[in-house]
Structure 1
Amino acid sequence: MAGGSVTTGAEGSVLLKWIATLGLLIVVAIPCLFIVVQAIFPEFGSGSFAAPFSLFFKTLSDPALFGMAGNTLLLGVGTVICAAVFAVPLAALRALYRVPGALIWDGLLLIPFMIPPYIAALGWIMTLQPRGYLEQVTGFNMASLLFSVSGIMLIMGLNTFSVVYFVLSRTFETIGARYSDVGRVFGAGQWRSFWRITFPLAMPGLAASLLLVFAMSIEEYGTPAALGRRIGFEVLVTGIENRISEWPIDLPGSATLSLVLVGMALVAFMVQRWLLNRRDYRIVGGKPQASDKRSLGVWAVPATLLFAFVALLATGLPILAILATALSRTISGGLKPSNMGLDNFRELLGAGSDGLIALGNSLMLGTTTALLAGLLGAITAYSVVKGRGRFRIVLDALSITPNSLPGVVVGVGIILAWNQPWLPITPYNTPFILLLAYVCILLPQPVRYATASLHQLGDNLESAARVSGAGPLRAFTRIVFPLILPSMVTAMILVFAVASRELVASLLVAPVGFQTIAVYIWQQFDQGSAGLGMAMAFCAVLITTLIPLALISLLRWLTRGSVAGLS
């Protein structure tokens, strides 16, 4: 009896490891491998390994590459600076002082992160362009700022600063004000004690969030494509997309540029680690309290106005522009009551319309991606945390690799891997290819959530299950997975929100005639149907914001109820 139990346990453990390995090979490893192989062997698609590196070095020596790489770095650094300028003062005020309506500002400043960047960029175009909404209301436009490098940085900074704001405000809140007070006791002024004591203690959180903003900026496609191309500002992402979508198609060149972009993201990560390791900022004693927030006094009104101004720029104006365009019967009719109506929404959501089909496709893909990524993420995390041997390090590395892969790189890898003429069967040019791309891009989220939850679980419950005759597979399905399910559901909700609106991978690998929310919006603007595009954009914002928030709130309520019942 015991021997049979051990055999079953070993088989179950091996089965979980093989499921994780096979899933990561298909979703992550094979696309990455094909990018490298295609960059080295330009004739690989024809089944030949001739002339290795012949186009690799030619692409690297192309002057256009230096221009795109320089623009990418410039855009990333500029966006980081803009995000920091908006986020740091707001985060410090929110964490260290009693800001009137703090929870309301938190909610408003979260919305920009939930709005797809390309949709926000289109909203800014409708607002600031000649004869745009700003000119109709005030008589002047800001097209010179909008269609400029600094304008692109500003808009992308407004789209991403909430990442820095929430991380940094929680970091400042943890540190508190007591260490700054100690500095003031020794004669330092308020500003000096903040910059010399509180701010350095927050450097790890600041560096991590700014790195994330940099990575998001260099891989963002929609905003540079919508604004940068009008002024000839090409970055690596748009350059890769051009080589894939425009004739003559240059697969080796796109693969080489993809490697350059991935290398740039990895260098940024190493620079972050180097900066954090140069000096050691940590709290060595005491326990800061979250209740030591101070009153703003006479600065309460200016602080509130600052929050209101940033919320208006980051949230209010883009949302209003999206809604105004969606309600306009004709763009030329302007902001007049007679030009407003629900015509675009009726056409979009009419029975059998392309818009309704695109919504259904995105909801189906988003749900399926969340389920597959959640299941694969849970199995992978279990194999890494509970497994034995060095191979689990390989699984862990593969599971986090997509963090350094921009969406355009994943799209290129998927095309190269599954569009080979010698494949007997392929998911290419089917909706399944989009599913592979989405799972690859979003897999790290459920893996990290599951890993964190598994580290909090002891081994006692699994040991008890094995003593009772259950193997690892049954223990995982009946004990471990139900316990980590709340965290996994939260991760899957976030995966659903992002997958439902993903743009660049959808543009690259979507089957002919198959539309998603992002593809539909992009095509409507290309065709001049801005009203229909913005109607879809407004629906997308509602879907990817309200549904996840409602589900997360429901999950927390159910979890609280179950915990109360257990106690």
Structure 2
Amino acid sequence: MSTPPSVAGLPAPASEPSGPLRTSFRSALRPQGIRYRPLHAVTAVVTLVLCLLLLYPLTIMVWRTFVLGGDVIGFDDLERVFTDPRTRSAVTNTAVILFTAGPLALVVGGMLAWLNERTDARFGLVGELLPIASLLVPPIAGSIAWTFLLSPNSGFVNVLIRDVLGAIGIHLGSGPVDIFSWYGVILAYTAYMVPYAYLPLAASLRSLDPALEEAARMSGSSPLRTFVTVTLPAVKPAALSAVFLVTVVCLGIYSVPSILGTRSGIDVMSTRIVQSMKFSYPPDTRGALLLGLVMLLVIGVVWLLQARSARSGNYARISSRGQSDAVVSLGRWRTPARLAMIGYLLLMSVIPLVALLFVSVQRYWTPDVKWDELGLQNYRALLSSSGPAGEALRNSLWLGTVGSVVGVLAAVFAALYLYRSTSRLARVADGVLKLPGNMSHIVLAVAFVLAFAGDPFRLGNTRWLLLIAFIAVYLYQAVLQSSDALSRVGDDLTDASYTSGHGEGRTLRWIILPLMAPGLVSAGILFFVHIIGDVNAAAILAGSRNPVVGSTLVDLYEGGDHAQLAALAGILSLISVAFVLAALSLARFLTRRR
């Protein structure tokens, strides 16, 4: 059996395959002589329910905003929004960040994936975990960590540099590094987007048949030439998937620009949407929707390019034929490559996390450390019965656990339906399930409040509203991963199962799901991490009776309590690390059992 996809692999979107893949897979999952297919009916119903879960609140929001008000979006609204200097500046700034931080994230993520999966510089489990370490720290807390390190006046790194320069006679009043600048914002964006580039590329590279690279090297090609001429073309669909995910994340992230961009004077589209929804009275829903449509247009173009490439079917899949575990020998470049990887991981993940934990044991954030005053007083205050942090942690853990299990199971059924059906309805469902990736989570949160908080559901200020909203918001990522994991199941394996007389249910249980297990564990990891660290949707949906970690972090930030913010982020990060390690260990165990 071939090497399975990356345990932490975030795969390509569930674009519609064609040719032999589509035909063989349909025949494999639809045994001859069975007219009524219960599994197909179940997957269709689940997919329909998921689509309704997304479309209903959006329809209610549009109905209440435009139809009940007796008005529609017109040229006056377009002129008002897009002639506003703040909107033009936000669109321009977003484009600059997308075309600078995006390529940087793709290059760094691609090189990390290649070094980890295809060369003898790989680090194994540590190498798989550390590139996604920035996902373990909530984006808002990660942005705060960068301010702890690189704030021009009191950042730890800046103070250290000034002390060193002062010892040789160079005295600076502030800096020399300013995180509240263009390069600071681009650095933070890049650090947060690298995992979304790394994961799909790592999954594809691990499944790539090494015989192709071996043939190129035997023909005299250098490792670099082999990478450019053989490896990159073979993982083109995964590379376009990475472009798609990086684009979605770059356009939709709110925490980084709200912390770093505001003080830098760098406004982006996501912050303009939040300002229109939260800080305008009455809320400028039309302006927010128009900006959301611009995001949707950009992401739609990228998705069409990715889908066209994926239809070629030119990528590796799991089959019953074995493959070697050959890797590229870097020779004398092995040590520099490992040092570069360690340096990147320290800079982008470990050091910010250490800064958070260090500030969390201070009474307040200050570069003048009083070592005798360091302690756990912030943790005790947060977890005391008088504070909301304990309840927020319990709520977030419950939401993360239940949401990840239910979300992944729903994503599996949706992926099965999308791969089994060639109808126009399936293509429409595929587009609907991708909607959360194309919209601001703030806008989606408002839609869920309008749809489910009042009559007839009355779910306002409850954990159930948060649960269904989180599942809907992050479902598209699980569907993408489940679809890719499904596409990597070799047709000969499912054909053999049906030839042996097994039905579709038994084939799914004993063949398809076990082979999809690593990808499903990956989906569960990101589902859990995103839910317990969500800031954008939680700021709208959570209330005093159902606090979650995301809304509590926002309250602590707005109150200026950096030490307690760091303590809560530290607890959240430790929980996330423990969950991810356990999940990766489980996935590796399932892989070894094949």
Same-fold status (TM-score > 0.5): yes
- Secondary structure of the corresponding residue to residue 178 of structure 2: helix
Amino acid at match of 1:112: S
Aligned to 2:339: 305
1:31 aligns with 2:88: no
| Partner of residue 441 from structure 1, selected from 462, 470, 473 | 473
CA separation of 1:221 and 1:110: change in aligned 2, threshold 3 A:
same
Q: Give 1:514's match in structure 2, choosing from 546, 555, 572.
A: 546
**CA RMSD, aligned part only?**
3.9
- The correspondence for 1:181, drawn from 183, 197, 217, is 217
Match of 2:5 in 1: none
Q: Which residue of 2 aligns with 1:372?
A: 406
Q: Is 1:226 matched up with 2:259?
A: yes
- 1:65 matches 2:87: yes
User: What's the CA shift for 1:59?
Assistant: 2.4
Secondary structure of the structure 1 residue equivalent to 2:434: helix
Cα shift at 1:514: 3.5
Contact kept, 8 Å, 1:328 with 1:334, in 2: the verdict is: no
SS at match of 1:332: coil
Residues 14 and 271 (structure 1), Cα distance of their counterparts in 2 relative to 1, 3 Å cut? closer
Match among 102, 111, 134 for residue 80 of structure 1: 102
d(CA) in 2 for partners of 1:418 and 1:144?
47
- C-alpha deviation, 1:313, in angstroms: 0.5
2:276 to 243, 257, 260: 243
Alignment of 1:255-270 (within 5 A): 255-270=289-304
Unaligned regions of 5+ residues in structure 2, if any? 1-32, 164-173, 317-321
User: Which amino acid letter does the alignment assign opposite residue 135 of structure 1?
Assistant: N
Once residues 246 and 578 of structure 2 are traced to their aligned partners in structure 1, the CA distance between those partners, rounded to angstroms, is 24
- Which of 156, 175, 187 lines up with 1:133 in the alignment? 156
Shift of 1:179: 5.6
Identity of aligned residues (%): 23
Residue of structure 1 in register with 2:9 after alignment:
none
Q: Which amino acid aligns with 1:534?
A: A
CA offset digits 1:133-185 (Å, max 9, x no partner): 11343326647531112211112212222333454456566366446536746
For residue 242 of structure 1, report the CA deviation from its aligned partner: 0.9
- Cα deviations by residue, 1:292-322 (Å, 9 ceiling, x for unpaired): 422422x344333212211210122111101
Distance 1:307 1:559 in 2: 26
Q: Greater CA deviation, 53-62 or 112-121?
A: 53-62
CA-CA distance at 1:324 after TM superposition: 0.5
Output the CA distance in 2 between the equivalents of 1:395 and 1:125. 42
Retained in 1: the 8 A contact 2:237–2:306? Answer: no
- Which stretch of the first structure deviates more once superposed, 263-272 or 437-446? 263-272
Contact between 1:384 and 1:392, CA under 8 Å: does it hold in 2? yes
The 1-side partners of 2:150 and 2:105 are apart by 20
Give, in whole Å, the separation in 2 of the partners of 1:273 and 1:11: 29
Say whether 1:22 aligns with 2:49.
yes
Letter in 2 for 1:49: G
Match of 1:470 in 2: none
Supply the distance in 2 between the matched residues of 1:197 and 1:494 (Cα, whole angstroms): 30
SS at match of 1:331: coil
| Contact 1:75-1:153 within 8 A present in 2 as well | yes
Equivalent of 2:326 in 291, 305, 322: 291
The 3 A distance-change label for structure 1 pair 85 and 484 is: closer
User: Quick one: structure 1 residues 373 and 479, their matched pair in 2 at CA, closer, same or farther if it must change by over 3 Å?
Assistant: same
Counterparts of residues 142-153 of structure 1 (less than 5 Å) = 142=175, 144-153=177-186
User: How far does the alpha carbon of each residue in 1:226-254 deviate from its partner, in whole angstroms, 9 at most, with x for none?
Assistant: 00011221111111111111131212222
The 2-side partners of 1:155 and 1:509 are apart by 26
AA at the equivalent of 1:33: T
Residue from 241, 246, 255 that aligns with 1:208: 241
The answer for the alignment partner of 1:471 in structure 2 is none
Q: Summarize deviations over 1:15-35 as a string: whole Å, max 9, x none.
A: 76445423421x211234356
Question: 2:262 is matched by which residue type in structure 1?
Answer: R
Choose 512-521 or 336-345, whichever is displaced more.
Answer: 512-521
Q: By how many angstroms is 1:412 displaced?
A: 4.0
Larger RCO (alpha carbons 8 Å, 6+ apart): 2
Greater mean deviation of Cα atoms: 410-419 or 108-117: 410-419
Conserved? CA contact 1:180–1:193, under 8 Å:
yes
Kindly indicate which of the two structures has a greater share of residues assigned to helix: 1
State whether residues 139 and 256 of structure 2, in contact with CA within 8 Å, keep that contact through their aligned partners in structure 1: yes
Task: Kindly state the Cα deviation for residue 256 of structure 1 after the two structures are TM-superposed.
Answer: 2.0
Output the CA distance in 1 between the equivalents of 2:345 and 2:427: 43
Shift of 1:126: 0.6
Greater Cα offset, 439-448 or 520-529: 439-448
* Residue equivalent to 1:334: 368
Equivalent-residue separation in structure 1 for 2:423 and 2:236 (angstroms): 35
Match of 2:69 in 1: 48
Contact 1:348 1:356 in 2 (8 A): yes
- More divergent stretch after superposition (544-553 vs 239-248): 544-553
Task: Compute the TM-score of the two structures, normalised by the length of structure 1.
Answer: 0.80
> Aligned partners of 1:83 and 1:509: how far apart in 2?
31
Answer yes or no: is the 8 Å Cα contact 2:521–2:583 preserved in 1: no
2: CA distance between counterparts of 1:195 and 1:451? 27
Q: Which residue of 2 aligns with 1:3?
A: none
Q: 1:273: Cα distance to partner?
A: 5.6
**Per the alignment, in what secondary structure is the counterpart of residue 520 of structure 1?**
helix
Q: Which amino acid aligns with 2:88?
A: F
Structure-to-structure mapping, 1:486-501, within 5 angstroms: 487=517, 491-501=523-533
TM-score by length of 2: 0.77
